[in-house]
Amino acid sequence: MKKILVLLSLFILMHCSTNNVKETEQQCKRGFERAESDLKSDSLGLFFFELPSPKSSSRIRILKNEYGVRVVDGGDVVTEEGRCYNEVMEQAIKKKFGDDVFRKIEQRVDSLVLQGQGDREAFYPGGSDAIEQYLACNLNFPDELESMDIVPTVFVKVTIDTAGRAKEVSIVKSFNDKFDREALRVLTTMEGWEPAIENRIKKESAYGLQIRFDPRIKRKCKP
């Protein structure tokens, strides 16, 4: 009986493995076919499987603006279709711009990042924890909050100018007029942002935030 169970388990494993191999091959084939189709249309492209960072943002900008390479965001998990697509496209890009094209791009990207000039979005020093602490110390809670059984939340968009100031603040999703006004007030007083950078130049950019009127965040206010 044990032998039968072992053989049955092996058969199931082999069957699953065969199916996985076939699926991988099909994904790769789709990637090859998609790349060949794009090349026939004189369209160069690459899948990027990276989380946003100054290096990846700088690399994408250079490829798009200077080499005309269309960039597809593949997320942070490499797919077989994307890998095979890139395999074809990388050869086509090297053929058009030279075998050392990617090395040259990486050298430029590394230089920008070392100088602190890599492309980046606007950010608040200290990240989300620092933002929460600022809100905890500066938000005024309307009296009516005490009678509510929900946490009022206001979604806002803030434009950070090249000096790191909140230039424009607008409501994306309202809660009510009183809470909306307080969310706008506290964000317009929030200074010290690091502005976005693109191609070594500071630029204005939009940043999304949700303002939660949760009394518990007051504990995070550190004098």
**Cα(121)–Cα(57) distance, integer angstroms:** 9
Look at residue 15 and tell me whether its pLDDT is greater than 50.
no
Fold of 127-220: TolA/TonB C-terminal domain (3.30.2420)
Which of 4-18, 26-40, 72-86, 105-119 has the highest mean predicted lDDT (pLDDT)? 26-40
pLDDT tens track for 165-216: 988 899 999 988 988 999 999 999 888 999 999 888 899 998 888 888 887 7
Q: At a CB cut-off of 8 Å and minimum separation 6, what does 17 contact?
A: none
Beta-strand (E) ranges in the chain?
Answer: 45-48, 70-73, 153-160, 166-173, 196-198, 201-203, 205-212
Residue 43: strand, helix, or coil: coil
SS3 169: strand
In this model, does residue 43 exceed pLDDT 90? Answer: yes
Hunting for tokens 């996985």 — which residue is that? 20
Element (H, E) at 213: none
Give the per-residue pLDDT at 217: 77
On whether the CB atoms of residues 160 and 207 are closer than 8 A, the answer is: yes
What is the pLDDT of the chain when averaged over all its residues? Answer: 84
For residue range 99-112, list pLDDT tens digits in order: 999 999 999 999 88
Burial state string for 179-204 with b = 16 or more CB within 10 A and e = fewer than 16: bbebbbebbeebeebebbbbeeebee
Q: State phi, psi for 143 to the nearest 5 degrees.
A: -55, -35
Query: Residues of CATH 3.30.2420.10 domain(s) within the chain?
Result: 127-220
Q: Percent of the chain having pLDDT more than 90?
A: 39
User: Helix, strand, or coil here: 123?
Assistant: strand
- Contact at 8 Å (CB) between 159 and 205? yes
Q: What residue type is assigned to position 172 of the chain?
A: V
